[in-house]
Structure formats: structure tokens, C-alpha cells
Amino acid sequence: MNTTTLALPPIAEMRRAFAAKDPAYDGTFFVAVRTTGVFCRPVCRAKPPRAENVEFYPTAQDAIRRGYRACKLCRPLDEAGARPPLVARLLDLVEASPQRRVTGDDLREIGVDPSTARRQFRAHCGTSFAAHQRARRLGAAVSELRTRRSVTFAGVGAGFQSDSAFRDAIERTFGLPLSRVSGAAVLTSTWLPTPLGNMLAVSHDDGIVLLDFADRATLEPTIAKLRARFAARGVHAVIVPGERRHLMALAAELKEYFDGERRVFSVPISPAGTEFERRAWDALRAIPFGQTRSYGQQAAAMGDARAVRAVGRANGRNTINILIPCHRVIAASGHLTGYGGGLARKQWLLRHERAVVEQQRSRTCFRLAAPLARRVQR
């Protein structure tokens, strides 16, 4: 097992990330301001303090132990990327009846200001509430078409007044004519909040096909490659927002992982790659929780110790982060190397897993020592 000292990122790196409000560092460290007694997230929009008045801590609990209180603006005690209550309510409204369009009047009837709702939804989800509803309705309509219902039936169910309007909306949204969409693979997507920021999860009938950090600049090309891999098998893929049993299971298991209550994921995954890539990803999943391996060790475990570079490329093409734990591979020197979500997140994940292992080991030692202590006392 390779080990490395896991601590905060370098001071200069944290100062740069804090100044840039870099979302890739959200959750990986916290910023405390001596002059105000407040600690913040790296993405806090408050007026930046002087550099000499700033301290950095790996966890919110560390800052609290040093006497700092949580910032009321960026709310560092809340989960990074957590859904605002209003956004969660809007999503629940859509899921309760995907075929129905929620209007401004509907929102006013339940005491919600439409402009506030639209602003918060776009800020959190990166798209408008209207666009989300439209994509969800069309996704439900595509599912209707796949059950061989008529175009008219599916279009009316999605809220369209004519077949032509329905066909136009399908083509604009999915880039495919209606005749080809009915045979497409429907992939369902959702945003999952984590302590390290929002992640985008995409699921197929066979399992999870993508789990990645939502702020990654390469996320859009990754989705394009995902579609291309389905196309290579002669199947067009359309991605629609919504709920799916695999996504619900993933949300529950991810929470348990970040809470330190889960080491192994049971939710099905369906990675798309070459035979070598799939072997590399299987080797990643074989690395025990809380441990690391070098690229050379991973290659050796696959039966070809010389394939170090090929292993690195395969790891870089992994689209299912955390479940396929490419964060557990480090350089032979013990240093952290490339990770799509950013080295700060890689460091955080490794530190989190090691802390969970140490905590559970301590509990085991206590349970074993307690009977002996009682016998000594007697």
C-alpha cells in the first residue's frame, strides 16, 4: 500500500482559490477571518479580507473548535451544493406530475413568488425552470413512444396542442427527428449535492453511466462522448431530467459514503469503454477503501506491469467518479497526481476515507479493550 501525508493544499493554492471563488475547492477547506471571528467557504461572496487576517482549516469542525462561527452568507455548515428548500420544492412539483406544466399562477397559489423561484432555480440547476419542465415532459413523452403509444397520445400527454408542435419540440431538444427518438435509449439525469459540490448523475436501465462534478469544464464533452459510445452501438441516447430507481439508490449510498457509513457501493453501474478500460476500472474497484495504489501497481494487478501509461489514460476516461475510485491511484512517489475533479477534491476524498478507517479501528480497539479493563478493575 502506498501512503501519503494528506493535509491542506498549499497556502498559495488556497489563497488563489479563495480569491477566484473557485467552486472546485468548495468543501476541501474553510477560510477563517480573525478580525470578524467568522469562517466561510472558499466560494463565499462576502468582501474579501486582508490576507494577513486569514486562517485555513480542513473542516468546519476545526474552525469551530478554534472559536470561529459560521458565516451567514455562505452557510459553511450546510452541505456544499445542497438544494435550497425552494428549489427542492419546485423539483418535487415537477416530479409529482411530469406531464403538467407548473405556471406562475400555480406558484402564486402555493405562496411562491415566480421571479424568486426562477432566479433560485437557474442559480442552482444551471437552467431555467421552464426548460427543465419542458425537458421532463418530453422525456416522459419519449417513454410513452417507446411503449408504442401513438404520437398524438404522447404529444397531448406532454402538453402539446398538435403533432407538428410536438415533433418540433422533440427535434429542438434532442437533435433527432421523432422517428428516431422512439428507438433511442433514454438516460435520466439529476443533480446530487455532496460536501464537495453538486455532482451530475446519469442513469440507464442497466445502472449508473455517469457521475461527475458539475463544475468541471470538461463535463459537456464527457456527455458528448457518452452519447457517442451509445451511437457506436447503433443506439441514439437522449438525456432527460428526472428520477430513476438507480439514481435514488445512488443518492442514498453517496450520502452514506460522505457520512462515513458506507465503504462499498451496491448501486449497479454500466460504464461504457474498451475491454482494456473496463479491466482498468475493475482494478480500481478492487482497491480497498482507505488505501491507495500507484499506477504501476494497478497495471501489475491487471497482469501487465508495463502498461502504466495506458492505465493512466484509462483512469482519465472514467466517467463514474467515486463509485469507480480513480482517486485512490497516486504516483509511485506518494504524490497526488491528475484527477478530473481537481487535486483538492482527490486529497479530500483520500483524507475522508482514511479518517473513516481510523475511526472504525479506534472503535474496534475500544470494544476489545473494554472487557479487559473491567476484569482488571475487579
d(CA 1, CA 358): 16
Residue found under cell 479563495 = 18
Separation CA 189–CA 139 (nearest Å): 11
**Distance between CA atoms of residues 369 and 362, nearest Å:** 10
- As given in the structure block, the three cell numbers for residue 261 are 457509513
Please give the Cα distance from 198 to 239 (Å, whole number): 18
For 107, 238, 288, the CA distances from 231, given in Å and listed in that order, are 40, 11, 34
Active site residues: 40, 326
Q: Decide: helix, strand or coil at residue 330.
A: strand
Q: Whole-angstrom Cα distance, residue 119 to residue 117?
A: 6
CB environment 273-299: b (16+ within 10 A), e (fewer): eeeebebbbebbeebeebebbbbbbbb
Residues 6+ apart with CB under 8 A from 24: 17, 197, 213, 215, 216, 341, 342, 344, 345
DSSP per-residue letters across 2-49: B-----PPPHHHHHHHHHHT-GGGBTTBEEEETTTTEEE-TT--SPPP
Whether 124 and 83 have beta carbons less than 8 Å apart is answered as: yes
